[in-house]
Amino acid sequence: MKPIRVLVVEDSLTVRKRLVEVLSSDPELMVVGEAEDGRRGIELCQRIRPDVVTLDMMMPVMTGVAAAEYIMAYCPTPILVVSASTNRGELFRTYDALAAGAIDVLDKPVGTEPDGEWEERLRRTVKLVSKIKVITHPRARLALSRPGAPSVPSVESVGRTSLVAIGGSTGSPGAIVEILHRLPPDFPHAILLVVHINEPFGAAFADWLDGLSPVRVRYARDGERLSERGRATVLMAPPGRHLVVERGALRLENGPERHSCKPSVDVLFESVARDCGAEALACLLTGMGRDGAQGLLSIRRAGGATIAQDEATSVVFGMPREAILLGAAQRVLPVHEIGAAIAARGGAAGRPP
């Protein structure tokens, strides 16, 4: 079996050499290039066509975000962000890179990890990321202007929706931005959101989304009541806590992981099926694994409306595929049609593509 070819893009010589050393110690991995800034990283990516790129965010000449945008637009390659960024502004750059098509993010070692633990995580994550077949992302993915895009098909408005639940994982930050951008600012229903982003990188994700969405986004609070009609807010599960609906109120639970995920989409969807039944609309987005598939089926069986993202626009067609195979998805839609479909079902006019 041929080794996985890795390009390391990192401005710190010390960190770069450490990454190269750790990766090269595994016979299944081969470092085929090193770059000290984003521009050089792009040049090497185009020339040597690696299987995966490890990418720092804070670099001179061209930042990691700009490099990720260009790579995913012109030479799509699986990208693993390796970053020490934990303050608000730098976290936003990490989310921008994920929205641009980067697959995953790994924190840099801080020196307190048990011997060999971080090194093994790096090697394991690089191998996992390299297996993902990436899709081309437009450079202006956050501008979300789509001239000439196909019109959204008519959406049946049969049934009443009072709550929307959305779940996603790998590749979902950009999809969520796309969906929320299609909703009108006066969308009349609460939207519950679960996204798989590990700590410490999940700390400011809701704030980042809030700055890009016409609908307010924040982390859910334990015990709060769901928004009344006309007071829509996206309420997101915080990192490390399950989000559950119980008798019209939200609960943040510290239960066991589901599918190695916490928060879990299945946990949210199953509670929505119990509490809201036919008044719920749920959407399962791009992601690795099967979290959310069984929960989406529960909502459909309870009479709710269900949507799965299609394969063509999914970065990883794992979670939606599992839901489709179970018969959980009433509709399978490209990401640019999901927001309008949600708006139509919720009794609002969605923004056009």
Q: Which residues are catalytic?
A: 169, 196, 291
Indicate if the alpha-carbon torsion angle 265, 283, 330, 232 is positive or negative.
Answer: positive
Pick from 149, 104, 130: nearest CA to 286: 104
**Are residues 193 and 349 in contact, defined by beta-carbon separation less than 8 angstroms?**
no
Distance CA 47, CA 7 (A): 11
Bridge partners for 166 per DSSP: 193, 283
Pick from 190, 300, 175: nearest CA to 249: 190
Pick from 56, 48, 10: nearest CA to 30: 48
H helices within the chain, ranges in order? Answer: 13-24, 38-48, 64-74, 88-99, 117-130, 172-181, 205-210, 265-276, 293-301, 319-326, 335-345
Distance CA 251, CA 243 (A): 6
Pick from 239, 245, 210, 242: nearest CA to 225: 245
What tokens does 318 get? 């794992």
Q: Is 351 exposed, middle or buried (0-12, 13-18, 19+ CB in 10 A)?
A: middle
Distance CA 26, CA 334 (A): 38
Distance CA 22, CA 172 (A): 29
